[in-house]
């Protein structure tokens, strides 16, 4: 049915897919900003943004009103505003790097998506084919490598702004990102130790990790989040720190740093930082779900294959690759969105850590814990896989 698609030259296909992902990430980032406002409002017993509307939608009975109350048009209004606001360039900045910084921020945000599979389908042979832009063998490494480039944008922005708050903010940002990257990396190692059992073909790809969580049996179907709770916890905390989310958003701490490295930014350039932050969140949540949350498997001990088989009993087209693909993407996206909601929920619950506390948690608590965790699982895995 979709054979024509595979007849298009590979390059064009990849470009199309890449554009598709960008087209998805941007609106999701926008939607996330609205979700952020809505969640904040609900937690604070408010209805949240619910005024903006577009005439012809407002005429649709019921649905128009519903969409308006949901605040969807505020996303458009915000986006429009961001686009058409005067894009000011302060006189005292280093122009080239100042403009470069938000672009640099977007690069890792969009590139990391490449390595993350977001669904799967079964080919004719019943073999699981992951859906993703580039099913890289070194998936995890690629994500780590590229996403740590994000710190450059902070440094560039802070330095190019040529004023003290952005500068302090960027120094903080770089210190914080580097500190937590360490624990994060150490936290995922047990997963890959487990996946790359001696004798198997070694890989750092995500698909394999998900496959591992879809095996039959009690241990096989168990998500790594249950198997390695400490790893998951460390990864989660580090993820909060890496994405500068509350309670680790000391970088943007407006009470002492005004607006941190983007103090001098406005309009669309500022919007790019904003989108980059949400992209980081999306990708981070995706990675977390792939590693510790069973990827596209609907429930622990219920793998995608089992679910499809079960659906096949009453849905004739359940085994069609298209349906499976969409189903798996839906499951995966659902999980990612739940994760993002969790991010927001935490944000409107916890107060911000002080910067010294952030450093202390990172170096004195999280790092020793992740080393101990690694040692424990290394020994345990060695014993089990003997």
Partner 1 sequence: MAVITVERKPLTFLERTYLPQIAGGLKTTFKHLIAPKKTLEYPEQRPAIPVGYRGVPTLVKDPNGREKCVSCQLCEFVCPPKAIRITPGEIPADQADRAHVEKGPQAFDIDMLRCIYCGLCQEVCPEEAIFLQNQFSMSGYTRAEMVNHKDRLYELGGTLPDAHHKWDKKKTAEEHGNAH
Residues in the site for partner 1, rule: CB under 8 A?
A: 39, 42-47, 345-346, 348-350
Backbone φ, ψ for residue 87 (5° rounding): -90, 90
Which residue, 342, 249, 269, 349, is CA-closest to 35?
342
Minimum CB distance to partner 1 smaller for 42 or for 84: 42
* Helix residue spans in the chain (DSSP H): 3-7, 10-43, 55-58, 63-70, 72-84, 95-115, 139-147, 150-161, 164-195, 206-212, 218-221, 224-227, 229-242, 254-257, 267-292, 304-312, 321-347, 355-360, 367-384
Q: How many CB atoms lie within 10 A of CB 356?
A: 9
Minimum CB distance to partner 1 smaller for 83 or for 350: 350
Residue 376 CB, shortest distance to partner 1, in Å, is 18
Residue 326 CB, shortest distance to partner 1, in Å, is 30
Q: Give the residues across from 129 on adjacent strands.
A: 121
Q: Do the Cβ atoms of 130 and 119 come closer than 8 Å?
A: yes
Which residue, 163, 139, 116, 130, is CA-closest to 259?
163
Residue 246 CB, shortest distance to partner 1, in Å, is 12
Q: Is 236 helix (H, G, I), strand (E, B) or coil?
A: helix
Residue 39 CB, shortest distance to partner 1, in Å, is 7
Minimum CB distance to partner 1 smaller for 348 or for 355: 348
Residue 43 CB, shortest distance to partner 1, in Å, is 5
Q: Please provide the DSSP assignment of 170-219 as one string.
A: HHHHHHHHHHHHHHHHHHHHHHHHHHS-TTSPP---HHHHHHHTT-SSHH
Residue 345 CB, shortest distance to partner 1, in Å, is 6
Residue 42 CB, shortest distance to partner 1, in Å, is 5
Q: Do the Cβ atoms of 133 and 14 come closer than 8 Å?
A: yes
Q: Please provide the DSSP assignment of 111-174 as one string.
A: HHHHH---EEEE-TTS-EEEESS---TTHHHHHHHHHTTHHHHHHHHHHHHTSHHHHHHHHHHH
Residue 67 CB, shortest distance to partner 1, in Å, is 17
Q: Could you tell me the two tokens for 103?
A: 């672009």
Residue 48 CB, shortest distance to partner 1, in Å, is 9
* Interatomic CA distance for residues 224 and 210, integer angstroms: 9
Task: Indicate the Cα dihedral angle 281, 287, 292, 293, nearest 10°.
Answer: 70
> Rounded to 5 degrees, what angle do the CA atoms 136, 26, 89 make?
115
Q: Do the Cβ atoms of 112 and 171 come closer than 8 Å?
A: no
Residue 38 CB, shortest distance to partner 1, in Å, is 10
Minimum CB distance to partner 1 smaller for 39 or for 184: 39
Minimum CB distance to partner 1 smaller for 39 or for 232: 39
- Biggest CA–CA distance in the chain, Å, is 68
Minimum CB distance to partner 1 smaller for 50 or for 153: 50
């Amino acid at each position: 049915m979709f054979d024509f698609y595979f007849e298009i030259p590979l390059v064009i296909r990849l470009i199309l897919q890449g554009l598709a992902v960008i087209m998805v990430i941007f609106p999701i980032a926008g939607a996330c900003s609205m979700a952020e406002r809505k969640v904040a409002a609900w937690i604070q017993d408010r209805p949240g943004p619910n005024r903006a509307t577009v005439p012809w939608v407002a005429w649709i009975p019921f649905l128009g009103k519903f969409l308006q109350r949901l605040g969807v048009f505020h996303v458009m209004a915000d986006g429009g505003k961001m686009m058409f606001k005067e894009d000011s360039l302060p006189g005292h900045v280093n122009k080239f790097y100042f403009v470069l910084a938000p672009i640099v921020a977007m690069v890792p945000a969009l590139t990391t998506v490449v390595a993350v599979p977001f669904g799967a389908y079964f080919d004719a042979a019943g073999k699981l084919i992951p859906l993703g832009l580039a099913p890289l063998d070194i998936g995890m490494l690629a994500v780590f490598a590229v996403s740590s480039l994000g710190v450059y944008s902070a440094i560039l922005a802070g330095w190019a702004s040529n004023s003290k708050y952005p500068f302090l903010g960027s120094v903080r940002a770089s210190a914080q990102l580097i500190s937590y990257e360490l624990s994060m990396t150490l936290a995922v190692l047990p997963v890959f130790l487990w996946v790359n059992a001696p004798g198997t073909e070694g890989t750092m790809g995500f698909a394999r990790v998900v496959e591992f969580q879809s095996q039959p049996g009690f241990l096989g179907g168990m998500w790594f989040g249950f198997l390695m709770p400490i790893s998951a916890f460390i990864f989660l905390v580090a993820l909060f720190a890496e994405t500068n989310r509350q309670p680790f958003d000391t970088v943007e701490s407006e009470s002492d740093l005004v607006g941190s490295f983007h103090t001098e930014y406005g309009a669309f350039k500022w919007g790019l930082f904003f989108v980059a932050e949400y992209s980081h969140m999306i990708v981070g949540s995706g990675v977390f779900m792939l590693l510790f949350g069973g990827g596209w498997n609907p429930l622990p001990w219920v793998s995608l294959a089992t679910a499809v088989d079960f659906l096949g009993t009453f849905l004739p087209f359940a085994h069609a690759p298209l349906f499976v693909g969409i189903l798996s993407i839906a499951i995966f996206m659902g999980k990612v969105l739940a994760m993002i909601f969790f991010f927001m929920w935490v944000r409107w619950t916890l107060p911000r850590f002080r910067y010294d506390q952030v450093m202390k948690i990172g170096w004195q608590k999280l790092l020793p814990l992740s080393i101990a965790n690694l040692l424990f699982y290394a020994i345990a895995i060695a014993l089990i896989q003997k």
